[in-house]
Structure 1
Amino acid sequence: MTTEIDSPQAENGDPVPESSPSDAAVTAPRTTLRWWPAVLLLAAMFALRMIPSVMEAPGLPLMMLSFMGPAALGILLLFWWCFASRASLREKMVGTAAVILIAAVSIAVLHFSLQGVFAVVLVLPTGLAAFALGLVVMSRNARWRLPIALLLSLVTFGYWDLRQNEGATGAFRTQLLWRWQPTAEQRYLEELAERQQRPTPLSDTTAITLASAPWPAFRGSDRSGVVRGVTLDADWDRSPPKSLWKQKIGPGWSSFSVAQDRLFTQEQRGELEAVICLDATTGQLIWEFTYPSRFWEAIAGAGPRATPTIADEGLFALGADGILLCLDAVTGGELWRRDLKQDADRSPPTWGFSASPLVTDSLVIVHAGGADDKGLFAYHAETGEIAWSVASGNHSYSSAQLATFFDQRGVLMLSNDGLQFVGVEDGRTIWQHEWALENYRTLQPLVVGSTIFFTTSTQEGTRRLTVSRGDDGSWNIADDWTSRDLKSDYNDYVYFEGNLYGFDGGIFTCVDAETGQRHWKRGRYGNGQCILLADSGQLLVATERGEVALVDASPEKLNELNKLQAIEGKTWNHPVLIENRLYIRNAQEVACFELALAGGGVAEE
């Protein structure tokens, strides 16, 4: 028995021509896509993006994987769509061309703060992920899946075109604003224009010298971050900190130098860098020195990175674009200037020139990182003429530091090549500890007697060296230990009674200075800074969120005595304590608080 199958007919009864399989592949979308490869790629993108959030201080390879991996997976999503999705050829061609066009137009009109690295890290992966997500969700709907996917991609890419970026936190979380919102810098410039219409007359001040400066340089006179002669009342409920003044300030990651009730710091003002002098009692601007210069990068934003240095010869300041200045500390008048870009024959490093000047023996010493012997420069403080220059790595955000070992004075300099100790007079190498790495170094070496602690960057941890000298004058630099229990990036640590206190990633920690082993790790302060009150064993910790915590320096546990919300915004700057006055700033605000002293030294109302 034979069964006959009727041929399909049109409404008029005529037979419908049969189409070949190849024609169907071109003209008709398949009913269901092969969606599971896209789901795996989307899950991998999400997992990579979460690495900085779930891991403390991941190493550089993992960080790069987290940053660049999602973009690579986004490209793989396009390959899935073109070669493994089971979509029709027409769908593939239209979808690929359309999403590439959307991405290209969107990236072309991004705000400048999201172009470059953020376009690769954020914009491209999320836009392509939205396209793939629409295809996966609508995989069974052959008619609407491509329009929905393109619409989701258009909305996602378009979202980024409406945003601008003010930088990123230490955990690389972006700080986004709507494109039409004024930035903190723009708000400051508006306020500054009004403030400058009411100039503050120069106060009567005698010559500012090193002797008149209780805090003459970055992290103090010896760059150790130690305050002596002060014990604070830990009961802030009974004697709360008193806000003396608070005001806006321009972008910059400078700290303060202090002399004769004056604060010296640096900031960005639009296309001008500025060195400013504030009245430490009132916060009023006493003088300013501006010059055309602007350095900006996507993570930290705009502004100077270094801190001015007070010396008998003047006030010395280095801008992020490499302008080294000598100013009159009383009036702000320029005495001389140099350009490290020209002297070192190089462009600014990734995050800008950051070396706070070291002034000693009538020399001004800064790291420039040029090739050959153009790494570390010494200038005559009176004239600005070059005294000497030596090789010193090409990637460092640390500052030259004076040190003495066995009656030998010299300059310690930390760079990507390692740690070197050179003569003050001529820059000759006294000794060098080689520990080269491709990444950068930021922190100050911490000297305790003949022992040195120094840090690489987030992935390698901290190393302890012991310096000794033989009877014949030869130097021996012993490598005692290297510990990953203290992985500081740009967050300096302090030494107290046999222990190191600082940041392991974004968490405060205490490490045994003899062994490098961790005592405790608590206190999620983010990427902040700390100073030590050596007489009392107290720590003032400035958190990344603008808080100030008073902490007991104890190896037993984290004992947070009190906490104050001092300023708003991301705070990477080092705080300063002069007697019982705390000075703190970030890229938006600057403030002064009076803290009660122990033994009845309560701040007056």
Structure 2
Amino acid sequence: MITIGQFFLLLTLCLSFQTLMPPQLRSTSVHAFFFNACLLAVVAFSSQQVTAQQEKPQIDSQLDWARWRGQNGAGRWQAPTNLQLDWSTQKPELLWSQPVGASYSGITVVGNQVFTMDRQVNGQTPEDALAGNERVICLDRNTGKQLWQYSYAAHYKGLDYNKGPRVTPTVHQGRVYTLGAVGHLTCLDALTGQKIWQRDLVSEEKAKLPTWGYSASPLVINDSELIIHAALQPNGCFAAFDCQSGKELWRSGDDPAGYTAPILIRQNGHKQLIGWTPKHVLGMSPVNGEIQWKIPYDVTYGVAIATPIFEQGHVLVCGYWEGSKLIKLSDNLKQATLVWEENEFLRGLMSQPLFRDGFVYLLDKQYGIVCFNLITGKVAWTDKNQLTPRGRNPQATLVWIGDTDRAICLNADGELVVTSLTPMGYKEISRHAVVDFTWAHPAYSGDLIFARDDEKLVCFRIPTEVSHSK
């Protein structure tokens, strides 16, 4: 592509052309012809360069999985309609595998780039076994080749489950935002990995680290504000930072930090941030963080993990010890009322529940997948631990496939499972092992699936149905 400097150099040569011609020709049609020809050449050359740049093939933005839970955080994979979901004859194809360090961090995909985080244990000694670096990694979508990495020191003293970062990187308008396990809030250039800004929330803002480290992925709102859940001190359970500079804009709430990312909801022209802390479920103004309502929910060990769901004017949170609660919001989002609570069958932990056509599908700690009516809380069925084995910390990432009743799940054993989830029951369609034990959330883009464990990040292609049209 022609640069601005090159353009003006050529233009200057054109304007100087008359000084190079014999005096007797400077005012003739010959001079005009050559001068105009030069200008046309410059414009044409510049246009060709710009056109070539614009026509460079790009990945469809609809295929991006740019944040926690994909587009709009909805947990919905806009997959090709011709995917072959029955893998009895043709399995998903491994395209590449790239070594990575240990981590619980999920994966994001934007264009030709794949992002995640891990931990490098260099620098550890017998006297200091918790030293090391956190790392943001960018890989090539097509080959798995590492494009760049950004690393910084992160000491895990006092951190339980200390193998690596937890959050899924958030990619927005050419920048990557991450929050490390011990409070490093970082903004990087997505193309180069260069640091734009970084805040150490523990040392700078006296943020109080939760037992298992920061796990809530940053949320971008209004294309300009970064919302985090990090318990800055004082009165900063939630906080907003300027995306461009990293400057704090507001902070809100004095609850301790939990592990769940806030969500932005809309109803009747009103917007609100929903947060779940170890003490409350609450609604905040996205303008200044003012708390507009809150419902008490005292969470054992502070394990408020799964992101709240907002459907049909109701907020649903699903906890491990105290179970699930449904909260009805007023039309203007200023009042909230507890509708029901249940702690026998509806006890989620890390797994994000799904909602469709009035019913919720939740991984319960004892009964496996449970289907229940959102408004009444009445249980329709359980899968009796078919999707994933019963365990102390059951985990499976649940994602809808398009607008169908099909869901794709990566369980803790690293098995990719395609199921049908309806109020009538659970039906397994396919199952295929893609990684080893993992709690990290995968990413989905086009016909590709990106998953990871503590040693590798892999890319699989899902088979497509062959057209038999004549």
Q: Same fold (TM over 0.5)?
A: yes
1:216 aligns with 2:48: no
1:248 maps to 99
TM-score (norm 2): 0.78
Is 1:455 equivalent to 2:455 in the alignment?
no
**CA deviation profile, 1:237-279 (whole Å, cap 9, x unmatched):** 2332111112332111111121112111100011111001011
With over 3 angstroms needed to count, the CA separation of the structure-2 counterparts of 1:229 and 1:547, relative to structure 1, is closer
Equivalent position of 2:288 in the other structure: 426
Scaled by the length of structure 1, the TM-score of the pair is: 0.61
Give 2:337's aligned amino acid. A
Deviations 1:199-240 (A, max 9, x none): xxxxx999x999687211111232221123544323212332
Name the CA shift for 1:575/1:502 in 2 (closer, same or farther; >3 Å). Answer: farther
1:585 paired residue number: 452
Looking at structure 2, the residues matched to 298 and 363 of structure 1 have their Cα atoms a distance apart, in angstroms, of 28
Q: How many residues align?
A: 393
Contact 1:356 1:366 in 2 (8 A): yes
Work out whether 1:596 is the aligned partner of 2:458.
Answer: no
Q: Which amino acid aligns with 1:483?
A: E
Once the two structures are superposed, residues 510-529 of structure 1 have per-residue CA deviations (whole angstroms, 9 ceiling, x without a partner) of: 22223222222221514222
Residue 327, structure 1, aligned to residue 188, structure 2: yes
Residue from 176, 198, 217 that aligns with 1:315: 176
CA contact (8 A) 2:325 2:341 kept: yes
After superposition, give the CA deviation of every residue in 1:106-144 in whole Å (9 maximum; x if it has no partner): xxxxxxxxxxxxxxxxxxxxxxxxxxxxxxxxxxxxxxx
What secondary structure, in the 3-state scheme, does the structure 2 residue paired with 1:222 have?
helix
Are the aligned partners of 1:392 and 1:415 in contact in 2 as well (CA < 8 Å)? no
- Measure the CA separation in 1 of the matches of 2:59 and 2:446: 19
Determine whether 1:411 maps to 2:283: no
Are 1:233 and 2:84 matched, yes or no? yes
Is 1:478 the counterpart of 2:337? The answer is yes
Q: Secondary structure at the match of 1:342?
A: helix
Q: Equivalent residue for 1:258?
A: 109
2:353 is the alignment partner of 1:504: no
On the 8 A contact 1:226/1:494 being kept in 2, the answer is no
Deviation, 1:576, is 1.8
Retained in 1: the 8 A contact 2:174–2:191?
no
- 1:33 maps to what in 2? none
Pair 366,453 (structure 1): closer, same or farther in 2 beyond 3 Å: same
Structure 2, unmatched stretches of 5+, are 1-52, 122-131, 389-393
- Partner-residue secondary structure (3-state), 1:369: strand
Task: Name 2:201's counterpart in structure 1.
Answer: 340
Give 1:474 deviation, angstroms.
7.6
**Equivalent of residue 527 in structure 1, options 376, 391, 395:** 395
Equivalent position of 1:489 in the other structure: 349
Q: State the Cα distance separating 1:432 from its structure 2 match.
A: 2.2
Matching residue of 1:396: 258
Indicate the RMSD between aligned Cα atoms, in angstroms: 2.6
Gaps of 5+ in 1: 1-203
Contact 1:230 1:535 in 2 (8 A): no
- Quick check: 2:253–2:291 contact (8 Å CA) kept in 1? no
User: What is the rounded CA distance, in whole Å, between the counterparts of 1:267 and 1:418 in structure 2?
Assistant: 31
| Structure with the higher fraction of residues in helix conformation | 1
Once residues 266 and 600 of structure 1 are traced to their aligned partners in structure 2, the CA distance between those partners, rounded to angstroms, is: 39
Report the AA paired with residue 486 of structure 1.
Answer: L
Give the drift of 1:502: 2.5
User: Highest relative contact order (Cα 8 Å, sep 6+), 1 or 2?
Assistant: 2
Give the share of equivalent positions with the same residue, in percent: 24
Q: Secondary structure at the match of 2:202?
A: helix
Q: Cα distance, 1:337 vs. partner?
A: 0.5
Higher Rg of the two aligned structures: 1
Give 1:518's aligned residue. Answer: 379
Question: 1:488 and 1:547 mapped to 2: Cα distance?
Answer: 20
